[in-house]
Structure 1
């Protein structure tokens, strides 16, 4: 969220992007890809091509098209020989819809045209710029459809260029927004990351990035404190990914790695206000071993140390 922006500012920014996007993609043209099909018609053909055979109810769910309009559209497709309808063998009251051979050929032409237009749109960009664009588009998709995140598609991977900077930036921004912590916290995270990068021991240390189709949703680090003790650091889960068990999964990954690396104990440092993280630590078997009131990050907090014997 831009610093100092108002709700009206953000609404105006969304509308400005919509105008830009519809102009660049060509949504304002009467027919999509000069095909004779409008956008809603092309979308229905696309969904039928992906589903193979489906019902009108499922098409409404996948497209969001009004039931009456969808019914008329499907009737036109049947009349043109693009869609076939048959009674469901499980329920004779239900109809199953699918593309005919002519419908599949028509969709193939639309799909090829769409690929050409998308390719022409990004062709002037460098490969790095194309990657940035795809990442930004995925971020937009996930932000607006956060409830549709699929836990099964979240992978825990090693860091790539840019990930360490992201860890610092997201910690700084989110903890300021949610807890009112000042810039000294972001500075601490930057120092922790700097130490990890400068002194990294891949045999006994790891950093994990939680990734959903190219979008970073969380992170955690395990670093060597001594030959016997590992330290868990910088557990972070994006708000959009909370409630999916991702925090527990990241902590479990740390514990498994620490055991395999031969550590006898894991320690971590946190603060009392981080209630969700504290619950995760407790359920993973960590125990609170020390607590001390402290002034940290511009707030009066209770600093805590937790430990887990492996």
Structure 2
């Protein structure tokens, strides 16, 4: 699919619509099961985090970027207000849309909003298996700051925290 479309074919909106939270939860559960063999505990974690985001949402300090092609969500990222810090969460690009520059575009939008809001730091959590994502984060200045062994998502892995000083 990526060969027949370009980044200009994808629209990005910055608001949630009915169905988005459920679909983003589903998408994470599906893709992370297929690609990393994560269990239902991961999907529950995503659902709880998205519910928390929605409950504490304000336009001035939080943001979503929902990437769509022909009405279908193909990418997602959010910035969650954590006081002085912004948390990057739920960054995903579906397989048929990888390699188009969509991930970089979403990160550019994240960084612009981060600066616009005056956050002093940003952070994210990922796992050791997501090496391409970690490489992208590092290209924006995020640095690995913490690692911990975990079985929280149904298998043994190393959770990693990346921090950015703005």
- Normalised by the length of structure 2, the TM-score is 0.95
Give 1:146 shift. Answer: 4.2
Aligned to 1:206: 63
Question: What pairs with 1:56-95 in structure 2 (closer than 5 Å)?
Answer: none
Higher-Rg member (1/2): 1
Aligned to 1:22: none
Give 1:213 shift. Answer: 2.8
RMSD: 1.1
1:155 pairs, out of 11, 16, 26, with: 11
Give 1:300 shift. Answer: 1.1
Equivalent position SS for 2:45: helix
1:255 aligns with 2:115: no
Gaps of 5+ in 2: none
Question: What pairs with 1:140-289 in structure 2 (closer than 5 Å)?
Answer: 145-158=1-14, 159-226=16-83, 228-289=84-145
Equivalent position SS for 2:60: coil
Give, in whole Å, the separation in 2 of the partners of 1:184 and 1:294. Answer: 12
Corresponding pairs, count: 165
Q: Which runs of 4+ in 1 moved over 3 A?
A: none
Equivalent position SS for 2:161: strand
- Normalised by the length of structure 1, the TM-score is 0.52
Structure with more strand by fraction: 2
Higher relative contact order (CA 8 A, sep 6+): 2
Give, in whole Å, the separation in 2 of the partners of 1:233 and 1:306. Answer: 12
Gaps of 5+ in 1: 1-144
